[in-house]
């Protein structure tokens, strides 16, 4: 079974990375034959790589290492595979030995507590992508872009996302200390957070003045399409003149949820996103929804915490309909991972494709640049002032006024 997920990794009920889960079993494998002193070639590898150097190093470790009797062969093999994957220098490609694979699977199923923040890697640093609404991380004051320098006393230098998740998560009621540096701060700050069971918010909506529907979508997880469907029916009943779709601090979720929700705003058959593979082949995902909102003016809000599926939807609405965006540049997470189950219970998560917007823009590391760049400062947050939303409302009201003049928006 394969399922696409659009996300970075999350520190609460679900751990993601915009992952394309391709659980594979029963793969054909060559028999394992330990060979010493000769070239051990992978029969399926046309590059004819000589593995005798590996066996030479293996034998030296077994013969010379002072504590060799305490090291198990399976740990050496797992370490070698981890090194192989780490050499890709891709923070989203990870090897999980059996013990870590079990923990990762628990993360996916929501079987643990955490702090309620999505993290990722940016400029080779572990950063907060976004804290969840009403989560311990939000209450502690975390903001998108915060750099995590230490987890308890462990440095995050050269640390992968999944390792950071493993260290941060833990038993309900226990405390983790994060040392964080934020742009504009002179010195890092240590913040203690008590782990909780996280309730994942998905969607809020309300009608603003002038018939403007405001929809704040917090993620693209499993419940998002159904909750958006219910909201869409209620909004439609009120004959909206415009919609503001707020994707700020939305770290992503399931790819099919993003495609589903984009389908409310696009004509059936319009491209939502393309996956481009190493071979040069690509797979195109198109809108297949009702398109109920396809003729209604829309403005999209994004910021540095908008990642993955959020960027897919924002990019699709921009490219297909010319819908304008307001806020700050999005995170830039646009790769697809496949998760393969190996025969000993370990897992290999490896990047297999990039996401492209309908017009061919590479999302990964580039993000979506808003049409109207508007900052929301710490001072704004303290007094609950939202200049980004204010700008979106201003743009929408202008669109509604123009629509009235040309008779294309209901009075």
Q: Which residues are catalytic?
A: 308, 319, 333
* CA pair distance 310, 333, nearest whole angstrom: 10
**Quick one: DSSP state of residue 37?**
S
- The helix (H) or strand (E) run that includes residue 379 is helix 378-382
Question: CB neighbours of 79 closer than 8 A, spacing ≥ 6?
Answer: none
**Quick one: DSSP state of residue 210?**
G
Q: Return the SS3 of 329.
A: coil
The torsion angles phi and psi of 258, rounded to 5 degrees, stand at -65, -45
- 114 forms beta bridges with 196
As given in the structure block, the two tokens for residue 2 are 């394969």
Distance of CA 12 to CAs 114, 192, 248, 290, 352, Å? Answer: 4, 16, 19, 33, 26
The torsion angles phi and psi of 234, rounded to 5 degrees, stand at -65, -40
């Amino acid at each position: 079974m394969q399922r696409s997920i659009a996300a970075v990794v999350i520190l609460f009920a679900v751990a993601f990375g915009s992952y394309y889960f391709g659980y594979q079993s029963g793969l054909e494998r060559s028999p394992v034959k330990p060979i010493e002193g000769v070239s051990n070639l992978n029969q399926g590898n046309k590059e004819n790589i000589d593995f005798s150097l590996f066996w030479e190093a293996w034998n030296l470790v077994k013969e010379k290492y002072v504590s060799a009797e305490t090291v198990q062969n399976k740990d050496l093999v797992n370490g070698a595979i981890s090194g192989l994957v780490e050499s890709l220098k891709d923070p989203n490609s990870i090897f999980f030995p059996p013990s870590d694979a079990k923990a990762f699977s628990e993360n996916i199923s929501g079987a643990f507590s955490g702090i309620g923040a999505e993290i990722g890697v940016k400029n080779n640093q572990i950063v907060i992508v976004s804290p969840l609404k009403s989560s311990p991380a939000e209450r502690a004051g975390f903001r998108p872009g915060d750099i995590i320098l230490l987890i308890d006393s462990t440095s995050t230098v050269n640390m992968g996302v999944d390792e950071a998740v493993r260290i941060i998560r833990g038993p309900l009621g226990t405390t983790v200390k994060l040392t964080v540096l934020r742009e504009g701060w002179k010195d890092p700050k240590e913040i203690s957070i008590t782990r909780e069971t996280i309730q994942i918010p998905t969607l809020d909506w309300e009608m603003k003045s002038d018939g403007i529907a405001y929809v704040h979508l917090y993620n693209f997880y499993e419940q998002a399409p159904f909750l958006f469907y219910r909201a869409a029916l209620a909004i439609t009943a009120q004959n909206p003149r415009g919609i503001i779709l707020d994707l700020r601090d939305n770290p992503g979720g399931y790819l099919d949820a993003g495609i589903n929700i984009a389908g409310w705003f696009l004509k059936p058959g319009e491209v939502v996103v393309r996956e481009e593979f190493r071979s040069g082949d690509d797979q195109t995902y198109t809108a297949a929804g009702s398109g109920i909102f396809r003729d209604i003016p829309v403005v999209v809000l994004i910021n540095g915490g908008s990642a993955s599926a959020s960027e897919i939807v924002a990019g699709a609405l921009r490219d297909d309909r010319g819908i304008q965006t307001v806020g700050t540049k999005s995170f830039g997470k646009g790769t697809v991972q496949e998760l393969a189950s190996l025969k000993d219970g370990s897992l290999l998560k490896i990047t297999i494709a990039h996401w492209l917007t309908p017009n061919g823009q590479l999302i990964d590391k580039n993000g979506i640049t808003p049409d109207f760049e508007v900052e929301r400062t710490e001072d704004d947050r303290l007094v609950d002032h939202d200049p980004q939303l204010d700008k979106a409302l201003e743009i929408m009201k202008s669109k509604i006024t123009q629509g009235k003049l040309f008779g294309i928006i209901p009075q």
